[in-house]
């Protein structure tokens, strides 16, 4: 951000909690440099170090964001004076954003959302309750939109004077337990074993059965259905016990996931466990994800309805979708073994599997999208030996994927297309050919005693609740295979081209490619606990994306990207 903030009166503040109930004011002035207009077939508006709105069929405009971290439950009031406004005439159209590509195997299509255009303002702000380093905080996000597009001109606002009035609330963190395991009663025996082991390793743990939640054993039962009862329980457990990690155990028929109705034009609903992690609003109240109270959750563009939610996780949540006691016991042993084992050289291997995800040749960029994304992840994984199974290297084949996975690895990243049983991608410029692996290949993967963490970029690879187990869970359920897996329960999207003209391929700046590489960015920064990596990646994604629920940018893709990004695994697991 150097060189952009010309005048700064007050800087980012993190307030000590003991300043309760004092009114405070912070003032900050931002002066933006004039946008650069690049003339080509259309006009690109560039600003240094800016982010860019990429709403299909709308002009691409730059924006800046500033994040403040305040104590949990603090309240704010923002005033912003915008001045030094300048009109800049233009005689060509501003570049418009393109549709996203759907990362679905068998079907490559552009997604569409209903037009719902509304003008944007010079700035916006929102406050969200979230978690940072295991502590509840409030994130205040201010977005600045210094460029507006009109018919024959752009209007540029140079100077922003921001006044933040805030009131700090008092919140005391408890510390009776760190890990809460919620499971059906018939799995309790297996997970008591895990809890005992965790306790011996310094993680205070409690196992609670679904019957005990419904029966009100610890807290008074609240909630309209089973999922909401579980979510209220988690809220109580965070407030009363200081829970940081929640491990949900059971397939969705035993422990439900939440059907979420963020409708981007092709899939009416999908399942989200982020629902269980985003338990608080910024004022500390329960986040129902059904703010309009109509019984449909997480609505966006859903028959004209909308639920306004902050999406930020407040606790780190993962799931083991076990279908029976044998699977439950198997996974408990797998986790304990992983914690026990001396990890050898194999752990330092980082396997990346990628190819040419989309045909972008007619846009002239001709990126090899999957490879670009995993190459970015590799940059963050210092100390790891990258193993590249890439179309451009000529070694992308099912046999090679099986062979390399069989040798074991600390981490694996797939970037391409999927359905709930398979993952695949394309050779260079050959979009009719699919190369990948499916659940039927998994018995051939023989990395016994060397399980990996897999990040799977592609639609539906983590879609729990289908007739057969999904690709992501099948990897956990086999001997060897994966110890944890993150991927999408829904359709996911790839942003192609360099629509915003900043020189970076959009595939790593938006949607699925962006969130997947944030996992490795977090790990590379030294966050090694699985759930924290997951939570921090979602938080960073939300901090940098304007999910404002105001229809100005129709940010369904961003909301859905975080909602559908499911962690299958133990969130308290240390990946070292
Ligand atoms: Ca609703
Ligand atoms: Ca939240
Ligand atoms: Ca391509
Ligand atoms: Ca770009």
How far apart are the CA of 128 and the centre of ligand 2, in A?
Answer: 6
Every domain range in the chain assigned CATH 3.40.50.10390: 179-306
Every domain range in the chain assigned CATH 2.60.40.3800: 23-102+121-167
pTM of full prediction above 0.85: yes
Burial of 285-311, coded b for 16+ CB within 10 Å and e otherwise, reads eebbbbbeeeebbbbbbbeeebbebbb
pLDDT-derived band at 549, boundaries 50, 70, 90: confident
Every domain range in the chain assigned CATH 3.40.50.1460: 344-525
- For position 23, what pLDDT does the model report? 60
What is the β-pairing status of strands 270-272 and 258-262?
antiparallel
Neighbours of ion ligand 3 (CB under 5 A): 356, 358, 360, 367
Which ligand is located closest to the Cα atom of residue 508? 4
How far apart are the CA of 34 and the centre of ligand 1, in A?
Answer: 42
Closest Cα to residue 518, out of 537, 504, 501, 505? Answer: 537
How does pLDDT run across 251-261, given as a tens digit for each residue? 999 999 999 99
- For position 168, what pLDDT does the model report? 85
Strand partners of residue 319 = 248, 568
How far apart are the CA of 458 and the centre of ligand 3, in A?
Answer: 15
Q: Which residues contact 149 (CB under 8 A, 6 or more apart)?
A: 59, 61, 94
Say whether pLDDT at 284 is over 90.
yes
Say whether pLDDT at 110 is over 60.
no
Neighbouring C-beta atoms of residue 482, cutoff 10 Å: 28
How far apart are the CA of 555 and the centre of ligand 2, in A?
Answer: 18
Topology of domain 179-306, per CATH? Rossmann fold (3.40.50)
How does pLDDT run across 357-401, given as a tens digit for each residue? 999 988 889 999 999 999 999 999 999 999 999 999 999 999 999
Say whether pLDDT at 319 is over 80.
yes
- For position 125, what pLDDT does the model report? 92
Q: What percent of the chain has pLDDT over 70?
A: 93
- Strands of 244-336 (E only): list them: 245-249, 258-262, 270-272, 297-302, 305-306, 316-320
Which ligand is located closest to the Cα atom of residue 370? 3
How does pLDDT run across 447-482, given as a tens digit for each residue? 999 999 999 999 999 999 999 999 999 999 999 999
- For position 509, what pLDDT does the model report? 95
How far apart are the CA of 167 and the centre of ligand 3, in A?
Answer: 50
How does pLDDT run across 190-247, given as a tens digit for each residue? 999 999 999 999 999 999 999 999 999 999 999 999 999 999 999 999 999 999 999 9
Topology of domain 23-102+121-167, per CATH? Immunoglobulin-like (2.60.40)
Domain 344-525 has CATH 3.40.50.300: no
Strand partners of residue 453 = 411, 484
Q: How far apart are alpha carbons 476 and 460 in whole angstroms?
A: 16
Q: What is the mean pLDDT of the chain?
A: 91
Which ligand is located closest to the Cα atom of residue 502? 4
pLDDT-derived band at 22, boundaries 50, 70, 90: low
């Amino acid at each position: 951000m150097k060189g952009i903030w010309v005048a700064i009166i007050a800087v980012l503040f993190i307030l000590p909690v003991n300043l309760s109930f004092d009114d405070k004011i912070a003032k900050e002035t931002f002066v933006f440099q004039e946008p650069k207009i690049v003339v080509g077939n259309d006009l690109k508006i560039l600003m240094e170090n800016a982010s860019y709105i990429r709403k299909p069929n709308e002009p691409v405009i730059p924006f800046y964001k500033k994040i403040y971290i305040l104590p949990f439950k603090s309240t704010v009031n923002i005033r912003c004076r915008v001045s030094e406004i300048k009109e800049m005439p233009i005689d060509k159209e501003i570049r418009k954003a393109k549709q996203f590509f759907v990362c679905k195997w068998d079907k490559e299509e552009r997604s569409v959302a209903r037009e719902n255009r509304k003008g944007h303002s010079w700035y916006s702000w929102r406050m969200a309750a979230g978690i940072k380093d295991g502590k509840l905080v409030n994130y205040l996000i201010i977005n600045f939109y210094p460029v507006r597009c009109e018919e024959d001109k752009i209007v540029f606002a140079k100077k922003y004077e921001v006044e933040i009035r805030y009131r700090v609330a008092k919140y005391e963190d408890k510390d009776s337990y760190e890990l809460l395991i919620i499971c059906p009663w018939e799995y309790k025996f297996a997970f008591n074993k895990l809890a005992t082991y965790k306790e011996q390793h310094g993680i205070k743990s409690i196992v609670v059965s679904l019957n005990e939640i419904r029966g009100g054993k610890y807290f008074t039962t609240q909630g309209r259905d089973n999922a909401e009862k579980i979510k209220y329980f988690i809220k109580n457990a965070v407030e009363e016990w200081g829970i940081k990690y929640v491990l949900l155990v059971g397939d969705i028929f035993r422990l439900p996931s939440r059907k979420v109705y963020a409708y981007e034009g092709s899939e009416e609903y999908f399942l989200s466990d982020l629902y269980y992690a985003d338990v608080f609003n910024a004022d500390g109240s329960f986040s129902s994800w059904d703010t309009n109270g109509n019984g449909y959750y997480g609505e966006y563009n859903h028959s004209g309805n909308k639920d306004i939610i902050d999406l930020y996780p407040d606790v780190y949540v993962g799931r083991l979708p076990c279908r029976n006691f044998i699977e439950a016991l198997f996974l408990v042993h797998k986790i304990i073994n992983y914690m026990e084992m001396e990890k050898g050289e194999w752990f330092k291997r980082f396997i990346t599997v990628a190819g040419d995800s989309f045909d972008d040749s007619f846009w002239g960029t001709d990126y090899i999208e999957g490879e670009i994304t995993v190459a970015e992840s590799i940059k963050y994984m210092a100390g790891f030996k990258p193993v590249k199974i890439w179309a451009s290297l000529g070694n992308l084949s099912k046999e090679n994927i099986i062979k390399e996975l069989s040798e074991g690895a600390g981490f694996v990243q797939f970037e391409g297309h999927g359905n709930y049983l398979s993952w695949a991608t394309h050779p260079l410029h050959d979009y009719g050919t699919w190369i990948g692996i499916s659940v039927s290949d998994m018995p051939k993967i023989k990395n016994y005693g060397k399980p990996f963490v897999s990040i799977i970029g592609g639609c539906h690879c983590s879609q729990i609740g289908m007739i057969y187990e999904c690709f992501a869970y099948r990897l956990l359920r086999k001997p060897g295979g994966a110890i944890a897996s993150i991927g999408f329960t829904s359709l996911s999207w790839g942003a192609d081209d360099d629509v915003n003209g900043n020189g970076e391929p959009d595939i790593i700046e938006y949607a699925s490619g962006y969130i997947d590489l944030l996992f490795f960015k977090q790990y590379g920064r030294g966050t090694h606990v699985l759930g924290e990596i997951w939570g921090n990646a979602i938080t960073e994604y939300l901090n940098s994306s304007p999910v404002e629920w105001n229809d100005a940018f129709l940010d369904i893709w961003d909301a859905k990207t975080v909602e559908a990004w499911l962690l299958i695994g133990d969130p308290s697991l240390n990946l070292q």
